[in-house]
Structure 1
Amino acid sequence: MELTIEKLTKRYGDKDAVKSVSLNLTPGVWGLIGANGAGKTTLMRMLTGILSPTSGRILYDGAEISVLGERYWDRLGYLPQTFGFYPEFTVTDYLEYISALKGLTRHQAKRRISMLLELLALDDVRKKHIRKLSGGTQRRIGVAQALLNDPDILILDEPTSGLDPGERARFRNLLSEMAQNKIVFISTHIVSDVESVATQNAVMKNGKIIGIGTTELLLEEIHGKVFYAVIPADALQTYERSICIVGVKSEGDSMMRVRYVADSGQIPDSCPSNPCLEDLYIYLFHEKGGSHDAEA
């Protein structure tokens, strides 16, 4: 099973949102990593057939998805960044409605819904109105609808948005289990969600794929370039102007522990540190003087 993307481009006016992207997706978890506006959602919407590319092709097992039509969509599960539902829908109403749209029989729908409600810890809210549930719970309902038809290809756009840390951990475990015989393609800017489970990662910036590989392979770019140091708090802004700082943590007594990426130790008494995917992400999308949310 392969989903092949060949020189895919999507143009809006004189702007290319996606620029000649080529990927060969095989079973496993694939992380699509990039900042907001990198082109991730546009790429995913083309993979689902919602958007038509300006140029390039998408092939499923050698056949173009535009030719396969419903034969492709029947094997596809998709979670968009936001999904709509009627205000009066309960969780079960919604999943039954989506099951009918996907062509499941009543018996198939009942069995799949029951299994997914338990799998995604939604059984206790099955009769509640979706509009009254938390954003994290609504996100899990979105994952459930994507899985109703037991798809071979699962495309998830920012699937952990709104989930708490425990929900995110359970979701990662679920992805690992599912990916044994599925292509799972996850768009995210929360790199910790894919670092431990992704078979391969693709890094997207300004509409282009700028890196493909395992986490270990991608991290070679910053191997030996990650450091930490303790500095006076009032020196932080000065260092931010010239160094890619990826994490800051208070040490007390007006001191700060900073983690940064550079070709060599730029701060006195710096110590080397093992790189992680978040270091690479911030390094690639760093803007001087920008914010940093990670801890050092």
Structure 2
Amino acid sequence: MNLQIMNVTKEFKDKKAVDKVNLTLAPGVWGLLGANGAGKTTLMRMITDIMSPSSGVIKYNGKDIKKLGKLYREILGFLPQEFGCSSDFSVVDYLEYVAAYKGIEKKVARKKIAELLDILTLSDVKKKKIVKLSGGMRRRVGIAQAMLNNPEILILDEPTAGLDPGERIRFRNFISEFSQDRIVLISTHIVSDIEYISTQNAIMKGGKIVDVGTTEELVKQIEGKVWSALIPAKEVAVFERKLRIINQKNEPNGMVSIRYLSSNSEVDNSVNEEPRLEDLYLWLFPEAAYEREVK
């Protein structure tokens, strides 16, 4: 099983949102990383056949998804970044509606819905109107609808937005188990959500795929560039102006421990740290640190 993205480009007027992307997805969990505007959502919309490429082709098991048509959509599950539905639906009514739209037999659909409601801890609110649910619960309903047809290809755009830490852990465990013999592509700003479950990661910048590899392979490029140090609390503002600080924590005796990115040690007592995928993300996309702060 594989999904081949072959020289795919998408142009809007004078802008290339996706520029000659080549990527072959095999079974497992794939992380798609990139800052806002990198082209991730556009690429996902083409993979799901919602949008057509300006040029290039996407093939599933060697066949053009455009020619597969309905057969392709039957094995596809998709959670868009902006998930919405009619305010008249209860959780279970909505999932039954989506199941019918996907052509799933009623008896099979009811069993699958009950299973997903349990896994995603939605059983207690299944009769509740979706419009009255919290943002995290609505997101879980979105995940459930994407998985109703037991898809071979599952595309998730910012799936953990609005989920609390416990829900995110359950989601990661569920996706890791689900991805056996399936292709799961996840785009997220919460890098820790894919760091430990992704089989491979693709990094997208300026509409292009600039790197592909396992977490271990990718973080090697910033070995020796992640540091920790102790600084006086009263000098934090000074250091923030000259360092790329990605984490800080108050310590006793008026000190602050910081984690920062730099090619060289910038503070006298600095110690090299093992790089993580989030460190690489913030190294490649320094603007993302600001986005994370203001959200």
Q: TM-score if structure 1 supplies the norm length?
A: 0.95
Cα distance change on mapping 1:184 and 1:267 into 2, 3 Å? same
* Residue 112 (structure 2) aligns with: 112
* Residue 182 (structure 1) aligns with: 182
* Residue 100 (structure 2) aligns with: 100
Q: Aligned partners of 2:142 and 2:238: how far apart in 1?
A: 44
State the identity %: 54
* Aligned: 1:125 with 2:125: yes
Taking only aligned residues, the RMSD between alpha carbons, in angstroms, comes to 1.7
Q: Aligned partners of 1:126 and 1:210: how far apart in 2?
A: 43
Once the two structures are overlaid, the 10-residue window that deviates more, 283-292 or 112-121, is: 283-292
Cα distance change on mapping 1:287 and 1:126 into 2, 3 Å? closer
Q: Aligned partners of 2:104 and 2:234: how far apart in 1?
A: 62
Cα distance change on mapping 1:288 and 1:124 into 2, 3 Å? closer
Cα distance change on mapping 1:289 and 1:182 into 2, 3 Å? closer
* Residue 141 (structure 2) aligns with: 141
Q: Aligned partners of 2:289 and 2:148: how far apart in 1?
A: 45
Cα distance change on mapping 1:250 and 1:292 into 2, 3 Å? farther
- Within 5 A, what are the aligned runs for 1:194-233? 194-233=194-233
Q: Aligned partners of 1:202 and 1:162: how far apart in 2?
A: 24
* Residue 67 (structure 2) aligns with: 67
Post-superposition Cα deviations, 1:191-224, rounded to whole Å, max 9, x if no partner, equal: 0000000000011122111211000000001112
Cα distance change on mapping 1:169 and 1:153 into 2, 3 Å? same
* Residue 280 (structure 1) aligns with: 280
Report SS of the residue matched to 2:169: helix
- Within 5 A, what are the aligned runs for 1:147-186? 147-186=147-186
* Residue 7 (structure 1) aligns with: 7
Q: TM-score if structure 2 supplies the norm length?
A: 0.95
Q: Is the 8 A contact 2:35 2:288 kept in 1?
A: no
Residue correspondences, number: 293
The alpha-carbon deviation at position 254 of structure 1 amounts to 4.4
Report SS of the residue matched to 1:49: coil
Cα distance change on mapping 1:61 and 1:81 into 2, 3 Å? same
Q: Is the 8 A contact 2:282 2:288 kept in 1?
A: no
Report SS of the residue matched to 1:52: coil
Q: Aligned partners of 1:62 and 1:234: how far apart in 2?
A: 61
Q: Aligned partners of 2:289 and 2:78: how far apart in 1?
A: 37
* Residue 251 (structure 1) aligns with: 251
The amino acid across from 1:226 in the alignment is V
* Residue 43 (structure 1) aligns with: 43
Q: Aligned partners of 2:167 and 2:92: how far apart in 1?
A: 21
The alpha-carbon deviation at position 256 of structure 1 amounts to 2.3
Q: Is the 8 A contact 2:78 2:155 kept in 1?
A: yes
Structure 2 unaligned spans of 5+: none
Report SS of the residue matched to 1:155: strand
The alpha-carbon deviation at position 237 of structure 1 amounts to 3.9
Post-superposition Cα deviations, 1:262-286, rounded to whole Å, max 9, x if no partner, equal: 2221111111111111111111111
Once the two structures are overlaid, the 10-residue window that deviates more, 266-275 or 166-175, is: 266-275
The alpha-carbon deviation at position 36 of structure 1 amounts to 1.7
Q: Aligned partners of 1:289 and 1:173: how far apart in 2?
A: 27
Once the two structures are overlaid, the 10-residue window that deviates more, 202-211 or 245-254, is: 245-254
Report SS of the residue matched to 2:212: strand
Once the two structures are overlaid, the 10-residue window that deviates more, 253-262 or 41-50, is: 253-262
Q: Aligned partners of 1:9 and 1:243: how far apart in 2?
A: 37
Q: Aligned partners of 2:246 and 2:97: how far apart in 1?
A: 45
Post-superposition Cα deviations, 1:161-205, rounded to whole Å, max 9, x if no partner, equal: 000000000000001100111100000111000000000001112
Post-superposition Cα deviations, 1:44-65, rounded to whole Å, max 9, x if no partner, equal: 0010011111111100000010
